[in-house]
Amino acid sequence: MKNRLESKFNWKYKLITKYNLNWNKISKLGNNKFIRSFYIYLILIPIITKFLSKADETITLFGIPFDIVLPFSWKMFFFSALFFTIANILYSFYAPKIIIENKYFSDFITKHYTFNHLESYCQNIGLYIVRVSIPKSSKMKFATMFPKDKTVYEVYSGNVFLHSLQEEKPLKKFKNKKELLPNLFYFIYEIANTYNSKYIIIVSFLYLIGILMFLIVFTSNLIYVIQQI
């Protein structure tokens, strides 16, 4: 389903569609503990390089000399950590909350989240939920309430609607049954997946550069070690 909040003439949306980029894929890196720990190396690398610059090229253990100088590009590793750290920060700020906090609906249930959390997720991506529940006996056909947080509740006939702040017509209508929560969750999740397309491109690029630099450093050192065996 095409994200209704993105224009089909938007080049950013076309780009992420062409290369199949989305927040769900980025979250595999953004929520990865190893990737998220790379900010530590921004502090450690300057300290380690300063220490090694003063150390001898070989150390002796049990009478056996070991060469501790590796063809290690500290600058490349430092910038790899820098790209990862910037990407992590942007991911935390601009990725939709529903993506950051949940991979599947089962995660949502495990955390004992409720309909109120879905409302919060909607507000996070510029949507609002319209809730409907006026008794049939009532002559009122339509009632709305506009709280300060701009969440809108429309009360009518026992249905739930999802609206976009950018569109007058509802995006989708859900019957207020047991299936409402999972259906609504995945509907919001799908829209959120390509929301803020500009930052999907930026964060993907930063992670890609960070990964490439890390692989270059890792591969060069691995080859060196194998050659010394």
Count structural domains, the chain. 2
Co-location of 189 and 219 in the same domain: no
Q: Are residues 50 and 75 in the same domain?
A: yes
* Strands ordered across the beta sheet of 127-131: 127-131, 159-164, 172-175
Is 158 in contact with 133 (CB distance < 8 Å)? yes
Domain that holds residue 46: 23-95+196-229
Asked if residue 8 is part of any domain, the answer here is no
Q: Indicate the pTM of the whole model.
A: 0.75
Instruction: Tell me: do 168 and 209 sit in the same domain.
Output: no
Q: Are residues 152 and 123 in the same domain?
A: yes
Is residue 208 within 8 A of residue 199, CB to CB? The reply is: no
User: What is the rounded average pLDDT of the residues 22-49?
Assistant: 89
CA distance 21 to 28: 12
- For 170-222, write each residue's pLDDT tens digit: 677 766 556 778 888 998 999 899 998 999 999 999 999 999 999 998 888 78
- Residues 147, 83 share a domain: no
